[in-house]
Amino acid sequence: MPFYSGLNLKTLCAGVLLFSGVLTASASNSIPDPEPSTGWQDKEAVHAEHFMAVTAHPLATQAAYQILKAGGNAADAAVTTQLVLNLVEPQSSGIGGGAFMLYWDAKNQALFSFDGRETAPAAADADYFKDSTGQLMKWREARLGPRAVGVPGTLSLLHTVHQRFGRSPWTKLFAPAITLSREGFAVSPRMAKSIEASKEYLSRFSGTRAYFFTDQGVPLPEGYHLTNPGFAQTLELIAEQGIAPFYQGSIGKKLIETLQEASGRPSLMTMQDLNGYKTLSRAPVCARYHGNAICGMGPPSSGALTVGQILQLIERFDIAGLGLNPKSMHLVLEASRLAFADRARYMADSNFVEVPVAGLLDQDYLRGRSQLIQPSRSMGKASVGKPPGVTIAHAAMQQFEPAGTSHFSIVDAQGNIVSMTTTIESGFGSMLMTQGFLLNNEMTDFSFRASKAGQPIANRVEGGKRPRSSMAPTIVFDRTGVPTLVAGSPGGSRIICYVAQALIGILDWQMNPQQAAAMPHFCNRNGTTDIESHAGADRLSTALTGMGHEVRVRNLNSGLHLIQRLPSGELLGGADPRREGLVLGE
């Protein structure tokens, strides 16, 4: 695939929509929440003049801050951030997983989007998730062990972006994570709770059991001083030799051996699969909203398309005038129903499936879909639409997506921007560990079924394909093409709701980033309306139920990390109070 040269936003900000070209099982209720809440942490918006970083863990933010303070740029800080997160937040992301990144090149005024999503082994086919009797596996078993692991892409993405945009030496960027790995760090409250919640599964494999449990066989407690010399050795080799040891050499060979030796259904991944992995530079997907360009990651992510649809579907309503209340929330929830209906049918890896990207964001199409929204009554389950450009009839398929993932946002002193969402899929991924890092269970993001009622499912398993994602790293540009907001969140398929809601909070309801991150969540994925448990949840539930919503009040654990650039040029940052994130800037 040719390297994409970047999206210049002049045309977009003149009012013309730009988009990427089209390229030629149910879960068990017994599955623990992979990202348990650690209690509300009151936080205030942080101001800065020159640069800023916000990540899910204080040690990662501090490491990014030091890189930026020493003259490194956003690409440099992103490398360091991810490596430290791999160590201190291993349940959420790492070099054994995949990621999407938006990169704003301030000098050339160009936006890039990089696809570091995991890929299916070349030998994978429609029977990938069938057991020895020909029956589809249960999700809770399929996500464990070697069969769940896709070819990792995060390290390739970091290397690709650093080679193209980085300023600091590659080796320097590894130093913070190597030092922390050797000298140790205190296990955070969220990491300790995550280990406790997943102890049954972590104990199944010797490598994870040895790392995440004490010598007495107890899950690591909060405050435990943890070292990871194996990860330090892995990072030292990559720092010295680049990513070749991972994709072509000793680290990759050991990774394959780990998969072959682990119990469970055997993996089909080979060294050839690792050798062939490439980060793809794809055209960003942008949608207009009140004159702003809302830009994000296109297929195989459903993030930008679904967020873009939600915003354009509500644009005809006076959301700003209504303010945050049940009436405005109802409109957003109804738009979400419509957008998720389209997502379930049309969105997948565009290298394998003709995704009607332009049609899904077509103004006339969305204008017609928006007319289905009634201001005071829910439509119930939304029917899928038929956007322009649809050439193949696919079956709609919803699937379980766990809420494990992390997001970080970075703005450097030159104005370069990183918005990166990164994951190993479920909490602790496949539960398999090799050389100090965990391996993903991204294969379970594919549809377990290849077809439905005689129609193919867009997100079915195919060799070399990348599974559909909901990750939605986002950068917002104003009418003049100036980037004004950086956003993203973990949260499984609810990422889309969280990001859309934060954008509405800032653009329509004049919230600052910290207020937007702290706003109680509401989400509809074309089914039950989920409301975050909070003081006003019962009153809100009653109001929405009266409009025809089936409401469930529950924990909705996001990880929104936001940076806003004010008209003065000042940076304003917010970290999700539901997690341990920190904002630092200067």
Q: Which residues are catalytic?
A: 405
- Which residue type, as a one-letter code, is found at position 470? S
Query: Does residue 291 come out as left (phi exceeding 0), alpha (psi in the -120 to 50 range) or beta?
Result: left
- Which residue type, as a one-letter code, is found at position 358? A
| The total number of residues written for the chain in this structure | 586
Longest pairwise C-alpha distance within the chain: 65
CA 417 to chain centre: 17
8 A C-beta contact, residue 348 and residue 450: no
Between CA 365 and CA 384 the distance in angstroms is: 12
Kindly calculate the radius of gyration of the chain based on its CA atoms and give it in whole angstroms. Answer: 22
Neighbours of 527 (CB within 10 A): 14
Tokens of 138: 């249960």
Tokens of 128: 């990938």
| Residue 431 per-residue DSSP state | S
Dihedral sign computed on CA atoms, order 555, 558, 563, 566: negative
Between CA 254 and CA 573 the distance in angstroms is: 41
8 A C-beta contact, residue 435 and residue 230: yes
Place of tokens 């924990």: 555
DSSP 475-540: EEE-TTS-EEEEE---SGGGHHHHHHHHHHHHHTS---HHHHHHSPPEEESSSSEEEE-STTHHHH
Containing H/E element for 334? helix 326-346
Between CA 464 and CA 482 the distance in angstroms is: 37
Place of tokens 């490596």: 83
Residues 500-518 as b/e (b if ≥16 CB within 10 A, e otherwise) read: bbbbbbbbbbebbbbbbbb
Place of tokens 């140790």: 184
My answer on whether omega of the bond before 388 falls inside 30° of 0, hence cis, is: no
The pairing of strands 285-289 and 280-282 is unpaired
Tokens of 178: 């190597």
